[in-house]
Amino acid sequence: MATLEIRDLHVTVEADNATKEILKGVDLTVKQGETHAIMGPNGSGKSTLAYSLAGHPKYTITEGTVLLDGEDVLEMTVDERARAGLFLAMQYPVEIPGVSVSNFLRSSATAIRGEAPKLRTWVKEVKETMEQLHMDPSFAERNVNEGFSGGEKKRHEILQLELLKPKIAILDETDSGLDVDALRIVSEGVNRVRETGAVGTLLITHYTRILRYIKPDHVHVFADGRIAESGGPELADKLENEGYEAYVKGGASA
C-alpha cells in the first residue's frame, strides 16, 4: 500500500528581497485509497505544500521529511518524483506551444512506465478517457493548454491523472474557475480514479462545493502554514457554515 508521509515540513520562499517562512511544521500521512481535503483561506500555505511536494525550485525546504513508500522524496528530482508515483494537477496549468496533447501524453506515459505504451491499445485508452471527460477527439492534436478555456485545462489535467495512474495525486484547486457542468465532469474523472483504490488523493480547495462530488475521508484546515484542525467530512460542513475566521484569528490550536 502506497503511503506519503510528511513530517515537520518547513518551507521558505524568497519575496521582496526577504526570506519568508510559509510552511511552519506540517505533519500529514496520505495512504493509498484515502482522500484528504486540504482547506483554508488564501495565503495559508495550501498551494505551497503542493508545489513543494512536486519539487518546484521556488520553494526551499528547510526542515522536515517527505517519504513515499519509505523513499526520500526530497532527494529526488522533479521527474524522479513523477516516476515514483507523485502527480500534481496544477491550479494554473502552463501552455506548451509546439507540443500536441497526444505527444505530451504518450511521452509522459513512456517516461513513467519506462517504455512506450503499445500504440493501438494506447490510442484506444486515450480516446475512451477523453470521451468520459466530454473532450472532442480533435483536442488531442491541439498544443498543450494553448488557447484552452479554464474548463479544458482542468479536464486535461484529469485526463493525465487517469492515464498516468499515479500512487499519490495532489490536486491543487482543481475546482478553480469551473462552472457547474465542468466541475461535475472533472469530479467524475477524479472519482473514477479513486474508485480503483490504487491512489491516495490530496485535494486542495478553498470551497466545499467540490466536496459535494468528491467525498473526502479526512478534512484538514490549513492556517498560517500549519494544519490547524483535522476531522472527517463533518469538518467541511462546519467550514461551510462558519468559514475560516476562527482559524485566521488563531481561534484553533495548531
The predicted structure's pLDDT at residue 250: 56
- How sure is the predictor about 1, in pLDDT bands with cuts at 50, 70 and 90? confident
The predicted structure's pLDDT at residue 207: 87
What mean pLDDT do residues 34-44 have? 94
pLDDT above 70 (res 186): yes
Give all strands of the β-sheet with 18-31 in edge-to-edge order.
18-31, 3-15, 59-68, 71-72
The predicted structure's pLDDT at residue 254: 36
- 20 burial type by CB count under 10 A (0-12 exposed, 13-18 middle, 19+ buried): exposed
The predicted structure's pLDDT at residue 251: 45
> What is the spatial distance between Cα 71 and Cα 139, in angstroms, rounded to a whole number?
37
Domain residue extents for the chain = 3-35+43-232+241-248
- How sure is the predictor about 252, in pLDDT bands with cuts at 50, 70 and 90? very low
pLDDT above 60 (res 224): yes
The predicted structure's pLDDT at residue 249: 67
The predicted structure's pLDDT at residue 42: 87
> What is the spatial distance between Cα 148 and Cα 131, in angstroms, rounded to a whole number?
17
Fold of 3-35+43-232+241-248: Rossmann fold (3.40.50)
Average per-residue pLDDT for the chain: 94
The string of pLDDT tens digits covering residues 45-94 is 999 999 999 999 999 999 999 999 999 999 999 999 999 999 999 988 99
pTM of the model: 0.93
136: phi then psi, degrees, rounded to nearest 5 = -65, 140
The predicted structure's pLDDT at residue 15: 84
Q: How many residues are there in the chain?
A: 254
pLDDT above 60 (res 218): yes
Of residues 233, 239, 224, 219, the one with CA closest to residue 42: 224
pLDDT above 90 (res 2): no
Give all strands of the β-sheet with 168-172 in edge-to-edge order.
86-89, 168-172, 200-205, 35-39, 218-223, 226-231
